[in-house]
Amino acid sequence: MKQVYLDNAATTPLLPEVITTITEAMQNIYGNPSSIHQIGRKAKSLVETARKNIAKHFNVSASEIVFTAGGSEADNLILRNAVINLGVTTIISSKIEHHAVLHTIDNLIKEFGITVKWVDLTNNGEINETHLEALLQQDDSKKLVSLMYINNEIGNILNIEKVGSLCTKYKALFHSDAVQAVGHFKFDIQKTPIDFFVASAHKFHGPKGVGFAYIKKGIGIYPIVHGGEQERGARAGTENVHSILGMDKALHIAYANLNQEAAEIQTLKNYFIQQLKDNFEGIKFNGTSDNEQLSSYIILNVQFPKEYGMLLFNLDLKGIAVSGGSACQSGSSKGSHVLNTILSEKEAKNTSIRFSFSKLNTTEEIDFVIDNLKTLIR
């Protein structure tokens, strides 16, 4: 059966070059980076080289990169440190953040009684920057703003420079879950006022179970995983050497030809949008996902004009992998918290599907999806 994978916002296929890097490391770089003998020192040297390489992509120092088991752990590390160790008593966020942020905030409320303020959103899920500034002005409490760079369900791009500037103006810390941005967009931290961001390798054709946190120099950070002094004391546990090297390789490949590949994926996305408009009446696009300037070229969230209860299931039977929201929501009966927040009650009941693309997709695959959608819907 033909297989078409359009769920790249959930995870991306490993590239052959990355698999080679990982397997060679597994075969040859078996030392513990904390060991003082030659075999251990070799592993340590390669991990530190990977750290330097990753740091260069964002114009930061290697000491500001902390390797983690992925974006969720990195979000937890930063948010919990902000409250426990940095004196933050107020977090400003939005109700359409990833659950790695939302659930961590919920637990911080229960544990420490922090104040949480939710920034207003437009009907398209964009941040109301005027309201954000008003929240920053409200009192003298120590604040942290946590807003994701690119929404993982609707693809909206945050004006990260503007938000960072507001945080600097009002002396608030700024954290961004950049999991959907790293490897797909270039950004220079020296030109972007931000204190923390997180990334996950499997979103840019790297391995699962590894990611990193950027933590601005001078900000004290303490571990939430205890047991050793790895990662300069910020995160205990023997480093996942082969995965870190695979992440470094994947990020290098992602940024080597980014402009060309981004343009090609955007062209594919635009083609899909036009085919949907030409073949289906009443189609809508959630968030700003059909807007080339305001949305990630990776993500398209499509709302069909009524409920098709078995559409995802039937697409899967045809070999087409897509999502009704984030992968983290797949076991939930409540639907997408993002769409439930920004859509009317009536629209939220309609079937919405997230299609997400990579450089491995083709127009032939798009045509195959359109043909199957026409059969299943009509």
Query: In the predicted model, what is the mean pLDDT of residues 162-181?
Result: 98
Same domain, 131 and 89: yes
DSSP symbol at 14: P
Q: What is the pLDDT of residues 297-310, one digit of tens each?
A: 999 999 999 998 89
Q: What is the mean pLDDT of the chain?
A: 95
Give the pTM.
0.94
Give residue-wise pLDDT tens across range 233-263.
889 899 999 999 999 999 999 999 999 999 9
pLDDT value of residue 329: 45
- In the listed set 255, 284, 307, which residue is the last one of a domain according to the structure? 255
Least confident range from 57-61, 308-312, 315-319: namely: 308-312
**Are 305 and 238 members of one domain?**
no
pLDDT of residue 331: 47
- Per residue in 105-121, pLDDT tens? 999 999 999 999 999 99
pLDDT of residue 221 exceeding 90, the answer is no
- In the chain, the percentage of residues whose pLDDT exceeds 70 is 98
pLDDT at position 327 is: 46
Residues 169 and 35 in one domain: yes
| Residue at which a domain ends, from 195, 230, 255 | 255
Strands of 235-356 (E only): list them. Answer: 284-285, 299-303, 320-321, 352-356
Q: Hunting for tokens 């002005």 — which residue is that? A: 137
**What's the average model confidence in pLDDT over 343-354?**
94
What pLDDT does residue 224 have?
87
Does one domain contain both 251 and 264?
no
Task: Note down the domain range covering 38.
Answer: 16-255
Confidence of residue 225 (pLDDT cuts 50, 70, 90): confident
Q: Are 155 and 282 part of one and the same domain?
A: no
Same domain, 288 and 265: yes
pLDDT of residue 88: 97
- CA pair distance 282, 304, nearest whole angstrom: 7
Same domain as 269, residue 138: no
Average the pLDDT over 211-223 and give the result: 92
Tens digit of pLDDT for each residue in 82-113?
Answer: 999 999 999 999 999 999 999 999 999 999 99
Whether residue 59 is found in the same domain as residue 128: yes
Q: Hunting for tokens 């390789």 — which residue is that?
A: 249
Residues designated catalytic? 328
Pair of tokens at residue 264 = 């090609």
Domains in the chain: how many in total?
2
Q: Model confidence at 176, in pLDDT bands (50, 70, 90)?
A: very high
pLDDT of residue 333: 57
Same domain, 245 and 135: yes
Rounded average pLDDT over 279-302 = 97
Residue 335: the pLDDT is: 86
* pLDDT confidence of residue 334: 74
Q: State which of 255, 280, 296 marks the end of a domain.
A: 255
Question: What pLDDT does 326 receive?
Answer: 47
Shared-domain flag, residues 283 and 199:
no
pLDDT of 325? 62
Question: DSSP of 149-208, one letter per residue?
Answer: SB-TTT-BBP-HHHHHHHHHHTT-EEEEE-TTTBTTB---GGGS--SEEEEEGGGTT--T
CATH number at residue 157: 3.40.640.10
Overall size of the chain counted in residues: 378
pLDDT of residue 233: 85
Same domain, yes or no, for 210 and 272? no
Q: Are 152 and 120 in contact, with CB atoms under 8 Å apart? A: no
Render pLDDT for 258-283 as a digit per residue (tens, 0 to 9).
999 999 999 999 999 999 999 999 99
Q: Please check whether residues 295 and 352 belong to one and the same domain.
A: yes
